[in-house]
Every structure is written in C-alpha cells, then in structure tokens.
Amino acid sequence: MATVGKKFPSLSVDAMNEMGDTFKLNVLEEAVKNNKKVLLFWYPKDFTFVCPTELHAFQAALSEFEKRNTIVIGASCDTPEVHFAWLNQSKANGGIEGVTYPLLADSNRNLSSILGILDITNETYDEATGTVQVEGDNVTYRATYLIDEEGTVFHEGINHMPVGRNVNEYLRLIDAYTHVQEKGEVCPANWEEGKEAMQANAKATAEYLAAN
C-alpha cells in the first residue's frame, strides 16, 4: 500500500540510541513536533553484509541531512539489545560503532506490517495448530521514507535485499521537495540544487524543454 501523500502512521516503537538507552519513538511526532523532515530507512537484519555499509553511509552524510533540517532514523525488526550489541562492534569487524542516529527496534513487526514491507512470500493457515505460518524471512526490505514537517510522506522507495541505497539521492530529493515548498516551482528530471526549475504550466514546460 503506497503511503506517498498520506500521513505517516502514528505508532510508538521501541528504539535504541548509541548510549544503550531504550525509548519509545513515534516517527510522525518526530517530524511534527520538531518541525523537521525525517528520513526513515529500513534494513533487513543486524550483523549482516550490505546493511552495515548503508548505516555507515547515512552516518557519514548525517551533517548534510542536518543542514537540510532532516532527522535520520534507521529501523529493522531486531530487538533493542541486538542493536546495542551491533553498535558496540567495530566497523573493522562488520559492526556499526560510531552510528549516532536512533535505530527503531520493530521486533513485534507492528509498524513494518502496517507499511507492508516485510519479506513474506506466502501465508497459510495451519488448522492442526490454529496458527498462520509464513514463507519468507519475515524481515523488512530496504524501504525508505521521506516525511515532511507536517508528517506527510513525500517519497517512498523499496529495494530488494541485495541492493544498497544511494544516500546522495535522498539528499537530492530533500533539496527538490524543499525547493517546491519554498519557491512554488516544480523540479524536472535530474534536477539538482542550483539548477533551473519551472512553473507548473504548459508554457513553462515548453520553454524548459526548448532550452534543455
């Protein structure tokens, strides 16, 4: 179910910080109460392979997101304790030591289920046990959400497990959306900060195409 153009679900989820503190975090409230944009990125599992490269990449760009009034939050279905163990493992050993943004611990899968981003290929009801059994790892795909200051999702993207994200693309998307908010113009294909945007009408489109 697409969430673009809708309010992000209001749900408090366990989270862990680099100090080892477990607390409740509501992504929608983080955006609205702080009057900031939020980048929420989900990854499949702690202590895996592509995942630490992404967490370190977002950490390396954290100051760029902060310049853009944007909060970064990571998320998976691991427990807070597993997050903290990974935070205490060095980068040289595949860990995420040095990551300072919060990590959601959606171990009950409530939020990821609402978003529909779990790796479940099939569900069957077992009459003998009265349980629903799933096929798949039941962990999240690499889903990314950009949420504005009012809590509205303005970008949603989902990668399959083996494909890591390009952090710079999210900076570009935030720049583009901020330009729309501030200038009232729309951003054409491949737009980057400093490039020409255009008014949302046929004449402006024709002029832009003729010049580009």
Residue numbers annotated as active site: 51
Classify residue 90 by burial, with Cβ atoms within 10 Å: 0-12, 13-18, 19+: exposed
CA angle 7, 10, 11 (to 5 degrees): 150
For the chain, report the end-to-end CA distance as a whole number of angstroms: 36
Residue 112 CB partners (closer than 8 Å, separation 6+): 42, 75, 77, 106, 118, 140
DSSP per-residue letters across 160-200: -TT----HHHHHHHHHHHHHHHHH--B--TT--TTS--B-S
CA distances 93 to 20, 49, 86, Å, are 20, 11, 10
